[in-house]
């Protein structure tokens, strides 16, 4: 039986006080919840203090990570640094890091600044697996790719690229998040049956020895109104939650939907 995992991705939101207030309010709402793994990926500037201040089993993680252990890489953060401050997770290859936006909120001319590729996802995944950080590897198709009938091939390519050269025995901590790009930040949600179909397809892309144990989340406008139906699907093992994780009450309801 796979334990559901619900992770809130705050993206670039909240002040320091708002971050602490949200975690405190959420903690009170879920203090008696059992049988579900949950946590937050806040902005880097708050990660260390939030990870050290939580009073219950809330996991904290980073929204990105770099593959090198140290060096002249201005602005990046290593796996060892994440471990040092008590982080548990790292999101890898989020569509926004790849420059693939469901809702473009930056000038189109700047999209090249978001340059994640299958190769860099692979390097980051290897670093996390070697360094003891739980990797949450994102995959998903754009609206144009879906309308062209390329959903499965696009995602299969992303998964193959992410796992290239990684030994099956090392993949145990792996979490995958299926995030249809067209549903991220748009309020659109993939139909639960279709989301489950794609998650099952992703499972089939994994080595046979880890298919039954690897957790596959759904992400893309998950909220208190649709979480229970999504999480009831046999191949959806939780959610990577954006907007709904910014409010303690909403995120708590999403977590409770997985119980």
How many Å apart are CA 90 and CA 9, to the nearest integer? 10
Catalytic member of 119, 168, 179, 194: 179
Q: What is the CA radius of gyration of the chain?
A: 17
pLDDT given for residue 187 in this prediction? 80
DSSP state at residue 236: -
Nearest to 65 by CA among 41, 101, 40: 41
pLDDT, tens digit, for every residue of 128-176? 999 999 999 999 999 999 999 999 999 999 999 999 999 999 999 999 9
> What mean pLDDT is reported for the chain?
95
Question: What pLDDT score does 64 carry?
Answer: 98
The sign of the CA dihedral 201, 206, 209, 211 is negative
94 is catalytic: yes
Confidence at residue 185, expressed as pLDDT on a 0 to 100 scale: 78
pLDDT at 184: 84
pLDDT-derived band at 82, boundaries 50, 70, 90: very high
Class of domain 4-256: alpha beta
Domain ranges of the chain: 4-256
The whole-angstrom separation of Cα 240 and Cα 165 is 26
Note the pLDDT of residue 251: 98
Q: Is 37 noted as a catalytic residue in this protein?
A: no
- Judged on CB neighbours under 10 Å (0-12, 13-18, 19+), 127 is buried
DSSP per-residue codes, 48-98? HHHHHH-SSS-EEEES---SSSSSS-TT---HHHHHHTT--EEEES-TTTT
Question: Which of the following is catalytic: 94, 116, 141, 145?
Answer: 94
CA within 13 Å, CB half, 234: 6
If DSSP codes are grouped into helix, strand and coil, which group holds residue 59? strand
207-247: per-residue pLDDT in tens?
Answer: 999 999 999 999 998 999 999 999 999 999 999 999 999 99
pLDDT digits (tens, 9 = 90+) for 27-61: 999 999 999 999 999 999 999 999 998 777 899 99
**Eight-state DSSP code of residue 128:** H
Let me know: does 40 contact 245? Beta carbons within 8 Å: yes
Q: Give me the residue label for tokens 């994102």.
A: 138
């Amino acid at each position: 039986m796979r334990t559901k995992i619900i992770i809130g991705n705050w993206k670039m939101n909240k002040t320091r006080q708002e971050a602490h207030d949200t975690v405190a309010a959420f903690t009170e709402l879920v203090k008696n919840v059992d049988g579900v793994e949950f946590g937050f990926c806040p902005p880097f500037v708050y990660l260390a203090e939030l990870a050290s201040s939580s009073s219950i089993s809330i996991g904290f993680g980073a929204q990105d990570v770099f593959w090198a252990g140290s060096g002249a890489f201005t602005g990046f953060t290593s796996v060892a640094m994440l471990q040092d401050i008590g982080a548990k997770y790292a999101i890898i290859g989020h569509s926004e890091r790849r420059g693939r936006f469901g809702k473009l909120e930056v000038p189109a001319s700047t999209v090249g600044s978001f340059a994640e590729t299958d190769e860099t996802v692979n390097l980051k995944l290897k670093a996390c697996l070697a360094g003891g950080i739980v990797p949450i590897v994102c995959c998903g198709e754009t609206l144009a790719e879906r309308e062209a009938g390329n959903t499965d091939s696009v995602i299969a390519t992303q998964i193959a690229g992410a796992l290239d050269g990684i030994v099956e025995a090392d993949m145990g901590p792996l979490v995958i998040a299926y995030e249809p790009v067209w549903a991220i930040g748009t309020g659109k949600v993939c139909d639960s049956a279709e989301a489950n179909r794609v998650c099952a397809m992703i499972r089939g892309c994994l080595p046979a020895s880890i298919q039954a144990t690897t957790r596959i989340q759904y992400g893309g406008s998950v909220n208190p109104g649709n979480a229970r139906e999504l999480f009831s699907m046999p191949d959806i093992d939780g959610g990577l939650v954006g907007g709904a994780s910014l409010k303690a009450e909403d995120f708590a309801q999403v977590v409770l939907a997985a119980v």
